[in-house]
A and B are shown apart, each in its own frame.
Chain A
């Protein structure tokens, strides 16, 4: 979970020469838009072609439902029947609840790891061990401990998402120049001021980077967590489409999951850029 993650995410940025004129920037964003749509168009064309070729032989006729056209039609139908809004709402609630808990727990512990060497050294081995416990293996325990499935899913998301938030916060704090704390103390800052005036502005970038990683993991955990027990959400809708053999619904749901994930990830990338104060970051 170093900072080296999928940050290549935005090579489109590279085409915007820093400090260029607005016309150049406009052209670059035009290029970016073109590439964005052309790329997606190629993807859908390949998808269509794959299904077309697969269904050429009559034996594989059932594959037709996996194509892009039925999927897009199904999105419209599922939106009107309320399936997609309901899945968005319930999965959003669980994801948001889990992430909020992860942030509330992860940021303070991360600050503690960054500030106290003793705590950092002692907590490293247990935290690394617990981090590498695959989140879904907590599931049986979560189901016993929590009365509702909703809470169990929120717990699973929180336990998966807390580590990147925690370690990113700690890594951010360790990059902060120790002289800042000395200056603040000399100027008579109280511990509270140090937190609000120095620590939080300095590590917002890293906390957001951690949250982006956390969303990535939470997104992976959300779907299998919803396979069991609940009757709403992305995972349930996929499982339901499979059992009722509605493959167009299945593909539609996959499209929705990808699109929502993309929007979340892009939104966080923009926030991270907004709060970046490291040169070149």
Chain B
């Protein structure tokens, strides 16, 4: 997913690196410009056809015009902060539960063998099918949504952590023990640095799934967040607001995903990986 990186030969001179970066920025902008142009043409065709004229709000120009209004009304900020709170809490719970269980899976063969079938089974329960139970258990919708995000994203964190630990050379543990490392030191000095890369890979996957779950979870019950904003725009037939929210979701998702990709690269110690 980091094709742009391939353009820069490692260890080249700064001028070459600058050239590669410029090329990357050019491609990035040109790609988005092509997408915008296609969108504009599509919107133009919709607006020209008398049968579809009522959907002209889907066009690029109308969508971009909708942003200042959404911002001034505070809709955009409210939706983003409400969704961010739910996404953040859900991911946090997934990490707090997923990483320790992943470490146990990676370290204990017995636990791994026994837990595999149930975890795989639970993983394949589509997260939104927990929704009725979540609503039943948690009184507040906010908490149900956080639960849904956590249960959707815990598996990738867990399995990535376990996979990362499986790649760690067992000799490291022996060396650490011989040097008199305590369990805590083993955890902070060996396990965590070794698997930080895999944990972030898991978090990136988790974010992808959480992002998919967030919107439908917010379509029901709540009156805030990105999912609600989309539903609201549809019900009021303000199609320009609808596409503006869709675009916002794409941009925020893109930023989050890119940040995770950068973190993964930062913590990578496997040669040739990432």
Q: Give residues in A with beta carbon < 8 Å to B.
A: 1-2, 4-12, 15, 31, 35-40, 42-43, 66, 120-126, 128-141, 144, 160, 167, 217, 219-225, 227-228, 234-235, 238-239, 241-242, 250, 253-254, 257-262, 264-266
Contact = CB atoms under 8 A, between A and B. Distances in A.
B163 A8 contact: yes
Contacts of A223: 126-129
B121 A11 contact: no
Interface of B: 1, 3-4, 7, 23, 27-32, 34-35, 55, 58, 105, 112-118, 120-133, 135, 152, 155-156, 159-160, 162-163, 166, 198, 201-202, 205, 208-209, 211-217, 219-220, 226-227, 230-231, 233-234, 242-243, 245-247, 249-254, 256-258
Majority SS of interface residues in chain A? Answer: helix
B212 A160 contact: yes
Contacts, number: 217
A134 B215 contact: yes
B121 A258 contact: yes
Contact of B117 (A35, A126, A221): A35
B156 A5 contact: yes
B129 A123 contact: no
A261 B159 contact: no
A220 B213 contact: yes
Given A129-B35, A219-B124, A224-B219, A124 B132 contact: no
Q: Is the interface of B mostly helix, strand, loop or mixed?
A: helix
A137 B117 contact: no
A131 B128 CA distance: 20
A126 B227 contact: no
Nearest to A113: B3
The 5 A-B pairs with the shortest beta carbon distances in the complex, nearest first, are A132-B253, A261-B124, A224-B216, A43-B118, A126-B35
Contacts of B123: 6, 261
Contacts of B125: 254, 257-258, 261
Given A137-B227, A217-B212, A228-B219, 6 more contacts: A122-B27, A131-B253, A160-B212, A219-B126, A227-B219, A264-B124
Contacts of A40: 117-118, 121
Contacts of A220: 126-128, 152, 209, 212-213
